[in-house]
């Protein structure tokens, strides 16, 4: 469980590696995965053929927690670690547009393969 909920998020992650939260601490690939950047929270989604996309879902950790609890009252968020954290970070950095104002670099048709 995330203990430090009062820390400011607005500038903390500027220039830093993305923060990764998961809903299944023992088997991260089985739960939901969320990535924080200065642009907000994104959910990692894997397509039928393994294509990965990140969808914006919340602007704050409080908003993200509400989203997760509304979907499953027993759910909680945990910090990801190890190889899973490294993999998700690399996936996210590989897909993040260079310019946050630019359109997405993939189409929904490609994701649905």
pLDDT digits (tens, 9 = 90+) for 5-60: 444 443 444 456 789 999 999 999 999 999 999 889 999 999 888 889 999 999 99
Tell me, what's the pLDDT at 30? 93
- Residue 88 or 108, more confident: 88
- Residue 37 or 106, more confident: 37
Tell me, what's the pLDDT at 97? 57
* Res. 95 pLDDT band, cuts 50 70 90: confident
3-state SS, one letter per residue, for the chain: CCCCCCCCCCCCCCCCCCEEEECCCCCHHHCCEEEEECCEEEEEEECCCCCEEEEEEECCHHHHHHHHHHHCCCCCCEECCHHHHHHHHHHHHHHCCCCCCCCCCCCHHHHCC
pTM exceeds 0.75, yes or no: no
Mean pLDDT, the chain, rounded, equals 79
Tell me, what's the pLDDT at 18? 87
């Amino acid at each position: 469980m995330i203990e430090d909920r009062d820390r400011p998020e607005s500038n903390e992650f500027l220039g830093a590696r993305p923060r990764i939260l998961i809903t299944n601490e023992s088997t991260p690939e089985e739960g939901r995965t969320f990535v924080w950047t200065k642009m907000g929270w994104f959910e990692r989604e894997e397509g039928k053929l393994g294509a990965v996309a990140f969808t914006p879902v919340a602007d704050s950790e409080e908003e993200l927690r509400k989203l997760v609890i509304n979907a499953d009252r027993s759910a909680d968020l945990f910090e990801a670690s190890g190889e899973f954290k490294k993999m998700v970070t690399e996936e996210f950095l590989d897909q993040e547009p260079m310019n946050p104002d630019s359109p997405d670099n993939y189409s929904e048709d490609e994701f649905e393969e």
